[in-house]
């Protein structure tokens, strides 16, 4: 009973509170721990001046019984009067600590929720990027299948041809009878005017001859302006799963989703130098499958039999910036027709000069307001 004075002070303040006994057990368990009967337990507490009672559920309640008849406990308790203030201070400090810990637990819960939300958002962004890439590939596959089924570009459609094509596209069952396909538009429109229009169209064609030669001139105009060259950033590069000499890259060219590009650069450029690298890309080549992977662009490089270097855009250029050529204005083709061999005709004139600047017939690869594109060390070399 070394700390009986503290027990007494606590019990005098709150008689029904659970106080630790010297065995370390709560009071309502001490009886069973010491194997005492209720009468013996009451007698033990009576010796130190406390009254012990039991309720219907077996819980113990202690009350102050007397303060004067036991001189020894009173002396001990009077020597420890500051302990009440100390205990009250400790209780207040404990309350503050508990409140602080509750606040910290709440903050940790909120932080965990925020982190989980951020992780989920990043996961969804990655999934969305993958879905966009899959959609682009499906679009390209659809275009290829449509072209293989006969949906092709016509160089110079006449008025009659365009009407026939529109009719054939709007009513696909009609081409079953080729003889009727030429007569049906005549009958549906107005038979007499059609013949007169046919006669009128002959002089009109001659009059339109002014425009008609212009189109062949545009077709004959094969130069670098028809190439869609843009600045791009190689986001990631990894080896082709089925070809040791090829890289498969994901390239940002300023579009909603990155393009997949296959390049034969394994023997010339280490894979660590391919990561997060700026480059110049030809973006309007027809997508082609290379060892099972569809390539949607081509990385432009200074090339020789012994060495290859990726062209560097000017500092400050960002993905999607157009590469232009002074003296060769015009908009690039949406997609180069492989049958017209535009790339094959232009490529021999793409070279680096003595200062390693990439150019076409003396006109440098230029990003408006930002500078020119260059190779690192290769001068007077071809570009492809």
- pLDDT attached to residue 148: 82
Judged against a pLDDT cut of 70, whether residue 203 lies above it is answered with no
Position 189 confidence tier, pLDDT thresholds 50, 70, 90: very low
Position 95 confidence tier, pLDDT thresholds 50, 70, 90: confident
* Residue 152 is assigned to a structural domain of this protein: no
Residues contacting 263, CB < 8 A, separation 6+ = 246, 247, 249, 298, 299
Model confidence pLDDT, tens digit, residues 214-273: 544 445 589 999 999 999 999 999 999 998 889 999 999 999 999 999 999 999 999 999
* Residue 160 is assigned to a structural domain of this protein: no
Q: How confident is the prediction for the chain on average, in pLDDT?
A: 75
Judged against a pLDDT cut of 60, whether residue 15 lies above it is answered with no
* Residue 142 is assigned to a structural domain of this protein: no
Distance of alpha carbon 242 from its chain centroid, rounded? 27
* Residue 94 is assigned to a structural domain of this protein: no
* Residue 48 is assigned to a structural domain of this protein: yes
* Residue 154 is assigned to a structural domain of this protein: no
CATH number for the domain harbouring residue 240: 2.40.50.140
Last residue of a domain, one of 54, 80, 106: 80
Beta carbons within 10 angstroms of residue 263's beta carbon: 27
Position 73 confidence tier, pLDDT thresholds 50, 70, 90: very low
* Residue 205 is assigned to a structural domain of this protein: no
Residue labelled with tokens 């002089």: 203
Distance, CA of 152 to CA of 258 (rounded, Å): 27
Model confidence pLDDT, tens digit, residues 345-363: 999 999 999 999 999 999 9
- At 235, which helix (H) or strand (E)? strand 229-240
Last residue of a domain, one of 52, 80, 108: 80
The answer to whether residues 279 and 251 touch, using CB atoms and an 8 Å cutoff, is yes
**Percent of the chain's residues with pLDDT above 90:** 43
Eight-state DSSP code of residue 258 = P
Distance, CA of 285 to CA of 205 (rounded, Å): 34
Q: Please report, for the chain, how many H helices and E strands are present, in that order.
A: 10, 18
Give how many domains the chain has, as a whole number: 2
- pLDDT attached to residue 201: 52
The pTM for the full model equals: 0.45
What is the DSSP annotation of 47-108?
HTTEEEEE-TTS-EEEEE--SSS-HHHHHHHHTTTHHHHHHHHHHHHHHHHHHHHHHHHHHH
Judged against a pLDDT cut of 80, whether residue 279 lies above it is answered with yes
Residue labelled with tokens 């909603």: 256
* Structural domain containing residue 330: 224-383
Position 157 confidence tier, pLDDT thresholds 50, 70, 90: low
Distance, CA of 15 to CA of 53 (rounded, Å): 11
What is the DSSP annotation of 304-368?
-SS-EEEPBPPTT--TTPBEE-TT--SPPPSS--GGGTHHHHHGGGEEE-TTSBEEETTEE-EET
Last residue of a domain, one of 49, 80, 111: 80
Distance, CA of 288 to CA of 262 (rounded, Å): 9
Judged against a pLDDT cut of 70, whether residue 121 lies above it is answered with yes
Beta carbons within 10 angstroms of residue 268's beta carbon: 16
Ranking 26-40, 163-177, 294-308 by mean pLDDT, the lowest is 163-177
- pLDDT attached to residue 359: 95
Distance, CA of 380 to CA of 358 (rounded, Å): 9
* Residue 139 is assigned to a structural domain of this protein: no
Model confidence pLDDT, tens digit, residues 128-154: 999 999 999 999 988 888 888 877 654
Model confidence pLDDT, tens digit, residues 310-332: 999 999 999 999 999 999 998 99
């Amino acid at each position: 009973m070394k700390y009986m004075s503290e027990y007494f002070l606590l019990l005098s303040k709150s008689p029904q509170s659970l106080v630790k006994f010297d065995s370390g057990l709560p009071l309502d368990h001490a009886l069973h721990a010491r194997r005492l009967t209720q009468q013996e337990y009451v007698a033990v507490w009576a010796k130190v001046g406390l009254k012990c009672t039991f309720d219907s559920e077996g819980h113990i309640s202690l009350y102050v019984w007397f303060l004067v008849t036991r001189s020894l406990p009173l002396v001990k308790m009077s020597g420890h009067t500051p302990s009440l203030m100390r205990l009250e201070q400790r209780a207040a400090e404990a309350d503050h600590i508990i409140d602080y810990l509750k606040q910290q637990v709440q903050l940790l819960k909120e932080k965990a929720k925020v982190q989980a939300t951020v992780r989920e958002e990043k996961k969804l962004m990655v999934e969305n990027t993958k879905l966009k890439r899959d959609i682009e590939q499906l679009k390209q596959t659809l275009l290829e299948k449509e072209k293989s089924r006969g949906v092709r570009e016509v160089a110079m459609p006449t008025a009659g041809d365009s009407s026939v094509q529109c009719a054939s596209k709007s009513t696909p069952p009609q081409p079953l009878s080729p003889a009727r396909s030429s007569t049906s538009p005549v009958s549906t429109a107005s038979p007499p005017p059609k013949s007169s229009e046919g006669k009128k169209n002959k002089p009109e064609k001659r009059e339109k001859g002014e425009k008609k030669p212009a189109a062949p001139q545009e077709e004959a105009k094969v130069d670098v302006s028809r190439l869609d060259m843009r600045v791009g950033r190689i986001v990631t590069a990894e080896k082709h799963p089925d070809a040791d000499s090829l890289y498969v890259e994901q390239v940002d060219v300023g579009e909603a989703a990155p393009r997949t590009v296959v390049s034969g650069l394994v023997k010339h450029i280490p894979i660590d130098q391919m990561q997060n690298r700026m480059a110049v890309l030809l973006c309007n080549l027809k997508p082609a499958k290379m060892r099972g992977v569809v390539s949607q662009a081509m990385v432009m490089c200074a090339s020789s039999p012994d060495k290859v270097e990726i062209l560097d855009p000017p500092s400050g250029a960002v993905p999607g910036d157009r590469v232009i050529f002074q003296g060769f204005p015009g908009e690039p083709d949406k997609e180069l027709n492989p049958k017209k061999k535009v790339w094959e005709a232009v490529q021999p004139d793409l070279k680096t000069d003595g200062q390693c600047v990439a150019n076409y017939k003396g006109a440098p690869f230029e990003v408006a307001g930002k500078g020119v594109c260059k190779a690192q060390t290769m001068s007077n070399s071809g570009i492809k």
